[in-house]
Amino acid sequence: MTTYRTVSINGLDIFYREAGSRDHPTILLLHGFPTSSHMFRNLIPALADQFHLIAPDYPGFGYSSMPTVDDFDYTFDRLAEVMAGFVDAIGLKRYSLYLMDYGAPIGYRLAVQNPEQIETLIVQNGNAYEEGLGDFWKPMRAFWQNKTPENSDRVRQALASKGAKWYYITGARNLENISPDTWTLDQALLDRPGNIDIQLALKYDYQSNVRLYPQWQAYLRQYQPPTLIVWGKNDQGFLVEGAYAYKRDLKNLEFHLFDTGHFALEEDGDAIADHIQRFLTTHLVENTKLTSNNK
């Protein structure tokens, strides 16, 4: 069963979901925007019989601490620093990374800092290439180039007008497949006083991720982590071209596209769970058995 825990990291309470035996290979599940570890609520029990799964909420998201922008530096460097502390605090030594949306820039920072800890990558609408950023990002790029009150208000208004629901329904093939519980919970958390300022700070800092794309691509080329791509091809924020771009740098790549949007787990969670199970069994479980038999 899934347990719901909290650990203190540098004075912050970091909430996380955990399931499966620690004797099994570990998957660190890193969520995207505008959600939390809640996005993994169905995937975790689907894999927990064979794998150890950990899904934290970042500061400002889900049930973790939400200090104000005056009390905490909401940058991706800082979120990655907290997640590195989280990994140490719960004693993870080797693990696979599930990278989705914001989870990609956080996870790639962890991978670059400690490449020896990363066993495999599972990338679901997690971008590391310029090709993945389309017209959706034009207002954001203007904001990055000139942080005027007008550009800030434009991004703030876009966040408010789209709302959490937009990210779930855009590109989905059948809206009846999407539980309204998803965007209702996300929106309630986004609507907490001060949270819009947190999200605005992270949207501004997203430019730091784009600058690091070459470094992350170099990591992929050098270390060649076995990688599973499971991508909702109708995502308007992280275009399918960003999925194809991984093929340039990775030799050991399994590639699957799904006829859905940003939150591919909502419509294709069963298929994605099956792909993960087979992929990790091949690259981790069977390899572990071979290593044990050769001792």
pLDDT of residue 289 exceeding 60: no
pLDDT of residue 234: 98
For residue 2, what are the contacts with CB-CB under 8 A and spacing of at least 6?
Answer: 17, 18, 19, 41, 44, 45, 48
Please compute the mean of the pLDDT values over residues 65-82 and round it to a whole number: 98
Amino acid occupying residue 113: Q
Residues 170 and 37: their CA atoms lie apart, in Å, by 21
pLDDT of residue 157: 86
Please compute the mean of the pLDDT values over residues 58-65 and round it to a whole number: 98
Query: Peptide bond before 59: cis, by omega within 30 degrees of 0?
Result: no
The CA-CA-CA angle for residues 42, 101, 177, to 5°, reads: 40
- Condensed to tens digits (0 to 9), the pLDDT of residues 205-230 reads 999 999 999 999 999 999 999 999 99
User: Of the candidates 113, 86, 110, 85, which has an alpha carbon nearest to the alpha carbon of residue 96?
Assistant: 110
- Condensed to tens digits (0 to 9), the pLDDT of residues 186-202 reads 999 999 999 999 999 99
- Condensed to tens digits (0 to 9), the pLDDT of residues 149-173 reads 999 988 888 888 889 999 999 999 9
Would you call 284 helix, strand, or coil by DSSP? helix
pLDDT of residue 294 exceeding 80: no
* Main-chain dihedrals φ then ψ at residue 15, nearest 5 degrees: -85, 145
Confidence of residue 82 (pLDDT cuts 50, 70, 90): very high
pLDDT of residue 286: 64
DSSP secondary structure letters along 207-222:
HHHHHHHHHHHHHHHH
pLDDT of residue 162: 85
Which positions are annotated as active-site residues? Answer: 262
pLDDT of residue 281: 96
Residues 262 and 242: their CA atoms lie apart, in Å, by 13
pLDDT of residue 293: 43
- Condensed to tens digits (0 to 9), the pLDDT of residues 90-134 reads 999 999 999 999 999 999 999 999 999 999 999 999 999 999 999
* Alpha-carbon separation of residue 215 from 16, 235, 239 (angstroms): 29, 24, 20
Would you call 224 helix, strand, or coil by DSSP? coil
Confidence of residue 292 (pLDDT cuts 50, 70, 90): very low
Determine which of 35-49, 147-161, 252-266 has the lowest per-residue pLDDT on average.
147-161
Question: Strand order in 52-56's β-sheet?
Answer: 3-9, 12-19, 52-56, 26-30, 95-99, 118-123, 227-232, 253-258
Supply the mean pLDDT for the chain.
95
Contact 177, 271 (CB under 8 A): no
- CA Rg value for the chain: 18
